[in-house]
Structure 1
Amino acid sequence: MSISDVITLLGGVALFLFGMSLMGDGLKKVAGNKLELVLYRLSSTPLRGVLLGTGVTAVIQSSSATSVMVVGFVNSGMMQVKQAIGVVMGAILGTSITGWILCLSDISGGSGWVDLLSTATLTGIVAVVGIVLRMAGKKQSTLSVGNILMGFAVLMFGMSSMSGAVAPLKESEAFTGILTSFSNPFLGILVGIVFTSVIQSASAAVGILQALAITGAVTYEVAFPIIMGIAIGAAVPVLLSALGANIHGRRTAFVYLLIDVLGVVIWATVFYTANAIFHFPFMAATMTTVSIAFLNTLFRLATVIVLVPFIGLMERFVCFLIPDKNGADPAKLEMDRLEERFLQHPALAIEQSREVTSAMANTACRNLMDSLDLITTYSEKGFQLIQELETTVDRFEDKLGTYLMKITVKSLNTRQSEEVSKYLHTISDFERISDHALNIAECAKEIHEKSIVFSGEASHELKVLETAIRDILSLAVNTFIENNTEDARRVEPLEEIVDTLCDEMKSHHIDRLQRGVCTLNQGFVFNDLLTNFERVADHCSNIALALIELQSDSFDTHEYVRSLKQVKDDSFAKYYDEYKIKYSLQ
């Protein structure tokens, strides 16, 4: 084998890997950008998980990519480890599809119409159609189909280059001797592991083995241990992807390795024990691209069938091997949803941002409600809890803000851009609500430490206003979480009522000061409470208006502030009158 042949072989491997990547990316785009959402939503049972894992891997042409995606799902809390095991099994099976595609390289020409079925002719036709679609296509779907066809053509050309480069090896005794040494099961498995770990693709490793099979020097006893080693080696990129993952993500990555190792141990033990007893005659049979594809699929299918009933046991085993030594922080678990891996899939990244923003909203709401309770029932423990929750909400804003900005640089459609804008606006409002919760808690602390007692009139008015604040906050948070634009339209009228109440209460307080019913010492903290209540209502209004603007497909950051007080449709007066009666100070 000359240097020229070696260079041709390496070039063929490069084309093969590039073609597989190009075809996989095109297939995924044609399947739609919600493929990942389907994967994690429809994997509720082991059988569904296996089928979906197989299907998705057949589309994106990489078990490692599917498994890395699943590690991200588990790491972010979208999927449980038990669900992920079924999907990983499906990915391990689905990656064998590429081997069957490569069997087309065995098609040879003849004369006349038969010549049209040759690999070279088929590849040429596919390449021509693909490049025409790429150059003339206007729609993204047409370009994606062109990419699929071009990827297939490049993959087949790479396969042909590899086959041509290794063809002279059929006459080499040294090469035959090296391959014969791989018939030792342990050495063959080790070679498969190392080779696949280096090129980071089980499909490519099987493809190269198929190219070598064209020389006629690959026998069953050589191919079987290498295929088993390839299965184990495919776990390396998945394990590497989990280095920065949480405990659940690492468990999921280890499951990939566990499944393949168990498959190798089970079938190697069964097969070689049976061979020692019965001496199978097909061990020296020469392998073809088709027989290698069949053996690869059969090995993976048999492994999945045997291990599916033991998914629960495997989950307990990985939990035992990788124990969770630290207690889980609920807020951190929510923020872990913001996986960097999902940034390549905007639909998923936005969905996760929505979940985390909802968690932030609930935390801010809880913080404000607790601070209102402190006004009448103060405790130092309650005050400290509000400080801790305020820190948590700040962490939410930092994490979400950074993540959402990373999403904005991706290729988004109009609706996705509007959703990201909505979240960027609302997280600052939720953070400010939590700030006001801390301010109110400090007012409560001052009332407690200075033993301030409000007059009966002031206490009654504060109770009415507090009820309105609780209602507007609950309404704003619930409408955001449920994406309920109808209820969102009730927020702005209530915000107007809160503003009116605050103005009336300030006027009443001045009157009480003049009559000597209230003191200046009471007045300072009273006005501080009113100011914070009014600001909370303003932020609730911002949240509701952001939701209304998005729903009407007119979300514009420049128009956002200007329109805050202008969304007064026919229902505004109706809701305003209703709230005016409900929150009367009389």
Structure 2
Amino acid sequence: MSLETFQMIVTLLGGLAVFIYGMNLMSDGLQKAAGDKMRNILGMLTKNPVMGVLAGALVTAVLQSSSATTVMVIGFTSAGLMKLRQAISVIMGANIGTTITAQLIAFNIGDFAWIFVFIGFIMYFFFKKKEMAVKIGQILFGFGLLFVGINTMSSTMEPMAESPVFTEMIMKVADIPVLGVFVGLCMTLVVQSSSATIAVLQNLAMTAGPDGVTSIIGLTGAIPVLFGDNIGTTITALLASIGGSKNAKRTAISHTIFNISGTLLFIWFVPQIAELVTWLSPKGPEVEVISRQIANTHLLFNLTVTILWLPFIKVLEKIVTTIIPGKDEREDMVAGPVFLDTNVLEQPVFATHLAIQELTRNASLTFDMLKKSREAFAGGNLAMVNDVIETDKTVNIIRTKTIEYLSQILSAESITDFQKERVSALLHVASDIEHIGDYCKNIVELAEDKAKNKYVFSDIAKNEVDEYFNKIETMLVDTMESLETGSPELAEKVLAEEEKINAMENEIRQEHMHRLVDNECSPAVTVVFLDVIHNLERMGDSCNNIAEAVIKGYRAKKQSIAKGE
């Protein structure tokens, strides 16, 4: 290999690296600008397949990566937050959303790349006090670098096109569609980004052949490579599904089937597709318009395959269920997290959503502990003692893993200041939930002490304990719902309930003292009685802390919206 050839290859790879970096930087900027609004897209997924397709397209347009969207969807499916049918529709939308990058590249604005870089740099590095300006600056800076990478690749491909060996190799790809598909597949497997490989394809196609007029590969030669790129991008999802639930694997396989089926259907009509796209696209010399033609082919192909498959989502669901048979069941009492997925960490909005689901699940485990501790203490059912102690171990494990996960979210490059504040609050919530479990454990230990020493409570004392348990159970239910939904109204209700709990504790203490003076209660049971009331009151404090975190998050969100973040 000559030094000149080596330099061309290195420059080509360098241009590709700058392109990928610019695309990732732009994606991070878009995520920050979109902020928590992206979470609202989740609500669209429960409506119908069409809304799922739309949601998938929107998320992918922001993430600038269909692979990132499919990995996120696999995480949600594995956690049980998304049904298989919903996941399939979102992936169909992701295939449409990923065509945005090719459309951007097709706009021949490479001459203005450094202008975008300069303006974006100024806004990104010198407007630190204006958050939205920084986010827009990051988007422009990444957008400019994206085209700097494209320009670098273009300048490298021009002398490469003069090489007879390179020209002959490209001609083989253009003449044998199956070979083109294989090349596109391999390129995407190596780069792990169909957007990047399609950008390379667009630049190659804009390079003139030996005659200096027509494209070195032509549209009919580029289309099979484009099909291969589409298949290659599904590998990331397949890898992400390893170790996931059955529905996660089915989701990944549905993505592969979707893209392969489209290729198998349309590979026989490449000349006709090229003719149609040429008719639909702008006219002009081939090397000047072929980038737009490839972008339009990409959009037309993915849109058509989606329209063809959309009425048959149930069929596709049946196919993948046949390939991966059996029920997809999740155990609620597994000794560890269910919802957390590290593959989603680079999308803070969705990762935070998973963390909240895990925290809500952990809170529900403590609610189960509360009911069992009540059975043990008030009902004398000591069979519940071991159940509470074992569940407490699970609660502690989930708390530790969730805190680790939340800490990882904080290190994501695309996280916004509002999201940082929200995640920081959730770190405290994780500890408060774990404390509730500890108080339940304390109560069952008191139940054992009560049974061992045969302490007998007066009827009034029993009623007071029973009523206090009722108040705490209601409060914990409201707390869990406010945490899951982010409802400030429910959180305010919890705060009001906590004030009543505190007042009730003082009243119970005073009433017990009166009973002691009047010899209506035994002094021996005082410690146990007051301890159980105290532990219940501390649960109320923890619920209060969680409610305050919800309210704080709601206010921070309102401020974020007011600032236009």
When normalised by structure 2's length, the TM-score is 0.81
Q: 141-150 or 392-401: which moved more?
A: 392-401
Residue 320 of structure 1 aligns with which residue? Answer: 322
Give the one of 66, 70, 74 matched to 2:69.
66
Residue 118 of structure 2 aligns with which residue? Answer: 128
Displacement of 1:399 after TM fit? 3.0
The CA deviation string for residues 464-490 of structure 1, in whole angstroms up to 9 with x for no partner, is: 322223223422442453343244223
Check 1:48–1:218 CA distance in 2 against 1; reply closer, same or farther (3 A cut). Answer: same
Match of 2:444, as an amino acid?
L
Residue 492 of structure 1 aligns with which residue? Answer: 499
Paired residues for 1:327-338 under 5 Å: 327-332=329-334, 335-338=337-340
Displacement of 1:434 after TM fit? 2.5
Residue 80 of structure 2 aligns with which residue? Answer: 77
Displacement of 1:218 after TM fit? 0.4
Query: Is the CA contact 1:179–1:217 (under 8 Å) kept in the aligned structure 2?
Result: yes
Residue 24 of structure 1 aligns with which residue? Answer: 27
The CA deviation string for residues 255-311 of structure 1, in whole angstroms up to 9 with x for no partner, is: 22121112122223x537999xxxxx99xx977222222222222222111111121
**SS of residue matched to 1:489:** helix
Query: Is the CA contact 1:62–1:203 (under 8 Å) kept in the aligned structure 2?
Result: yes
2:110 is the counterpart of 1:89: no
**SS of residue matched to 2:96:** helix
Match of 1:77, as an amino acid?
G
2:432 is the counterpart of 1:426: yes
Match of 1:37, as an amino acid?
R
User: Distance between the aligned counterparts of 2:553 and 2:390, measured in 1?
Assistant: 37
Displacement of 1:142 after TM fit? 1.4
Residue 165 of structure 2 aligns with which residue? Answer: 174
Give the one of 374, 386, 394 matched to 1:372.
374
**SS of residue matched to 2:161:** helix
2:172 is the counterpart of 1:194: no
**SS of residue matched to 1:403:** helix
Query: Is the CA contact 2:494–2:547 (under 8 Å) kept in the aligned structure 1?
Result: no
Check 1:102–1:327 CA distance in 2 against 1; reply closer, same or farther (3 A cut). Answer: closer
Check 1:208–1:377 CA distance in 2 against 1; reply closer, same or farther (3 A cut). Answer: same
User: Distance between the aligned counterparts of 1:446 and 1:327, measured in 2?
Assistant: 41
The CA deviation string for residues 439-471 of structure 1, in whole angstroms up to 9 with x for no partner, is: 255357648xxxx584xx724422332222322
Displacement of 1:233 after TM fit? 0.5
**SS of residue matched to 2:242:** coil
Residue 16 of structure 2 aligns with which residue? Answer: 13
User: Distance between the aligned counterparts of 1:301 and 1:439, measured in 2?
Assistant: 62
Residue 258 of structure 1 aligns with which residue? Answer: 257
Residue 560 of structure 2 aligns with which residue? Answer: none
User: Distance between the aligned counterparts of 1:553 and 1:273, measured in 2?
Assistant: 56
Match of 1:488, as an amino acid?
L
Match of 1:547, as an amino acid?
A
The CA deviation string for residues 324-347 of structure 1, in whole angstroms up to 9 with x for no partner, is: 568521244993223334444444
Query: Is the CA contact 1:33–1:345 (under 8 Å) kept in the aligned structure 2?
Result: no
Query: Is the CA contact 1:12–1:161 (under 8 Å) kept in the aligned structure 2?
Result: yes
The structure with the largest alpha-carbon Rg is 1
Residue 282 of structure 2 aligns with which residue? Answer: none
Query: Is the CA contact 2:389–2:441 (under 8 Å) kept in the aligned structure 1?
Result: no
Match of 1:536, as an amino acid?
L
Displacement of 1:503 after TM fit? 5.8
User: Distance between the aligned counterparts of 1:408 and 1:186, measured in 2?
Assistant: 45
Displacement of 1:251 after TM fit? 2.5
Match of 2:69, as an amino acid?
T
Query: Is the CA contact 1:232–1:260 (under 8 Å) kept in the aligned structure 2?
Result: yes
Displacement of 1:312 after TM fit? 1.9
Check 1:343–1:501 CA distance in 2 against 1; reply closer, same or farther (3 A cut). Answer: same
User: Distance between the aligned counterparts of 1:151 and 1:274, measured in 2?
Assistant: 37
User: Distance between the aligned counterparts of 1:421 and 1:188, measured in 2?
Assistant: 50
**SS of residue matched to 2:107:** helix
Displacement of 1:35 after TM fit? 4.7
Residue 341 of structure 2 aligns with which residue? Answer: 339
2:1 is the counterpart of 1:2: no
**SS of residue matched to 2:217:** coil
Residue 416 of structure 1 aligns with which residue? Answer: 422
Displacement of 1:62 after TM fit? 1.2
Residue 35 of structure 2 aligns with which residue? Answer: 33
The CA deviation string for residues 396-425 of structure 1, in whole angstroms up to 9 with x for no partner, is: 333334334445666643852663254145
2:465 is the counterpart of 1:474: no
User: Distance between the aligned counterparts of 2:397 and 2:266, measured in 1?
Assistant: 50
Paired residues for 1:355-366 under 5 Å: 355-366=357-368
Displacement of 1:17 after TM fit? 1.7
2:138 is the counterpart of 1:144: no
User: Distance between the aligned counterparts of 1:339 and 1:330, measured in 2?
Assistant: 16
Give the one of 191, 198, 203 matched to 1:211.
203
Query: Is the CA contact 1:473–1:537 (under 8 Å) kept in the aligned structure 2?
Result: no
The CA deviation string for residues 506-564 of structure 1, in whole angstroms up to 9 with x for no partner, is: 77468759xxx97x9xx46x743542232222331342255358747999xxxxxxxxx
User: Distance between the aligned counterparts of 2:161 and 2:345, measured in 1?
Assistant: 47
Match of 1:141, as an amino acid?
M
User: Distance between the aligned counterparts of 1:466 and 1:242, measured in 2?
Assistant: 47
Aligned residues with identical type, % of pairs? 26
Check 1:418–1:124 CA distance in 2 against 1; reply closer, same or farther (3 A cut). Answer: closer
User: Distance between the aligned counterparts of 2:450 and 2:106, measured in 1?
Assistant: 76
User: Distance between the aligned counterparts of 1:18 and 1:298, measured in 2?
Assistant: 27
Displacement of 1:70 after TM fit? 1.8
Match of 1:248, as an amino acid?
N
Gaps of 5+ in 2: 209-214, 280-284, 483-489, 556-565
**SS of residue matched to 1:335:** coil
Check 1:35–1:260 CA distance in 2 against 1; reply closer, same or farther (3 A cut). Answer: farther
2:492 is the counterpart of 1:501: no
Check 1:274–1:549 CA distance in 2 against 1; reply closer, same or farther (3 A cut). Answer: closer
Match of 1:15, as an amino acid?
V
Residue 230 of structure 1 aligns with which residue? Answer: 229
Give the aligned length: 521
The CA deviation string for residues 35-70 of structure 1, in whole angstroms up to 9 with x for no partner, is: 541332222321112122222222332111122222
Query: Is the CA contact 1:386–1:437 (under 8 Å) kept in the aligned structure 2?
Result: no
Check 1:434–1:63 CA distance in 2 against 1; reply closer, same or farther (3 A cut). Answer: same
User: Distance between the aligned counterparts of 2:429 and 2:409, measured in 1?
Assistant: 11
User: Distance between the aligned counterparts of 2:321 and 2:553, measured in 1?
Assistant: 47
